[in-house]
Amino acid sequence: MEAAAAAAIVQAESTPATVDAFEPAVSLAASVSPSLADETVTEAPVDDPFLLSLFSADEEPVHPEAIPIVVGTKIKGSRRVERAARRAEAPPKVRITKLPKLGRKAKTKKSRPASTLLSVGALLFSGALLVGTTVPANAFITFADEPIGGAGGSIIADAGPEQAVEVAADASVGALSRDAFTVTSYAEVVREKYGTRVSTFTPTTGAVRWPFPYATPISSGYGDRVAPCRGCSSHHNGVDFTPGSGTPIYAIADGVVTQAAFSGSFGQHVYMDHVINGQKVESIYGHMIGGSSPLAVGQTVKVGDFIGLVGSTGASTGAHLHLEVHLDGVVVDPFAWLTANAVN
């Protein structure tokens, strides 16, 4: 018996095991000890579910990399086999789906009645406003069909005793008399208040003279007026002489030229300082023809000397001489001052 068992072992070791390349090894041979040589060799039980599923499946060609290798209690093999084993051993995953937040929807549902009510209220208000602005108020007033005095009649007021007027037989109606009146236009009112002041003067030959040796018209006097142009003054500080464009202008007294230029609202102008009756007097000649004055600053001028030619430079509406007179820096009426000082 022992000799037969030993021969079987030698035959098993010497004979190489043949394994199909496409069939997995599904049985594990049990080692036989000499003491158990007389017993029958049986297959080892397989308790792994994964291996049992492989054993029970239909025989299909299996790639060598897919053949599992059992090392202890772990199964090793290709990555595909390891992933499949991990999926089989892993507990089933439970997917939790988050429910949508119901706060906004609930709030929107709650706010719908309020928005609907607000819309209806706005429509009603618009309709009421339309009716109130288009329909007259008396359309809403109802009148009773019965008379004012009630069902039985109307109201009659007691007028008291009758009044009588006695008229004489020879009485006659006379003609109505009215007070006399005149109509003055606004333009005439303005002209009377601010209009041009036409004055006349008599030429003189003394130490103080008028700027012209003959009488000339005066279109605008000293004082308040309606400004004749944009930039013109509404309070006239001088007197405007209108002898005609190009008329020579002469000095009203002895003096010294302090300014001679073409600038500002006076256009071509000359300023002169005088001493008259112990008082400082300044005279200004404006709106002359450009370049018509030969005077220069610092030049001494005698009474009656040539100043320039009448023009319309600067803020002017026509050819004229604008003459101003200042006493110690105070503007005065040139016509009144010359009337009092220009003597023969």
How far is residue 175 CA from its own chain's centroid? 70
pLDDT classification of 344: cutoffs 50, 70, 90? confident
User: What is the per-residue pLDDT for 170?
Assistant: 76
In whole angstroms, give the CA distance from residue 194 to residue 196. 7
Find the angle CA(216)-CA(222)-CA(226) to the nearest 5 degrees.
Answer: 105
Which three-class secondary structure state does DSSP give residue 73? coil
For 105-131, b/e burial (b = at least 16 CB within 10 A) is: eeeeeeeeeeeeeeeeeeeeeeeeeee
How far is residue 174 CA from its own chain's centroid? 73
The least confident of 25-34, 253-262, 286-295 is 25-34
In whole angstroms, give the CA distance from residue 140 to residue 281. 84
More confident call, 271 vs 28: 271
Q: Across residues 6-27, what is the average pLDDT? A: 45
Q: Which residues lie closer than 8 Å to 221 by C-beta, 6 or more apart?
A: 196, 197, 199, 236, 239, 240, 333, 335
Percent of the chain with pLDDT over 70: 54
User: What is the per-residue pLDDT for 209?
Assistant: 95
User: What is the per-residue pLDDT for 25?
Assistant: 45
In whole angstroms, give the CA distance from residue 308 to residue 322. 12
User: What is the per-residue pLDDT for 275?
Assistant: 95
Q: Across residues 38-62, what is the average pLDDT? A: 60
User: What is the per-residue pLDDT for 75?
Assistant: 55
Q: Across residues 198-211, what is the average pLDDT? A: 86
What is the Cα gyration radius of the chain?
67
pLDDT classification of 23: cutoffs 50, 70, 90? very low
- Write down the domain spans for the chain: 2-89, 195-341
Q: Across residues 173-189, what is the average pLDDT? A: 71
Q: Can you identify the CATH homologous superfamily of domain 195-341?
A: Glucose Permease (Domain IIA) (2.70.70.10)
Q: Across residues 116-134, what is the average pLDDT? A: 85
Over 70: is that where the pLDDT of 118 sits?
yes
For 63-74, b/e burial (b = at least 16 CB within 10 A) is: eeeebbeeeeee
Percentage helix, strand, coil for the chain under 3-state DSSP, each rounded to 5? 25, 20, 55
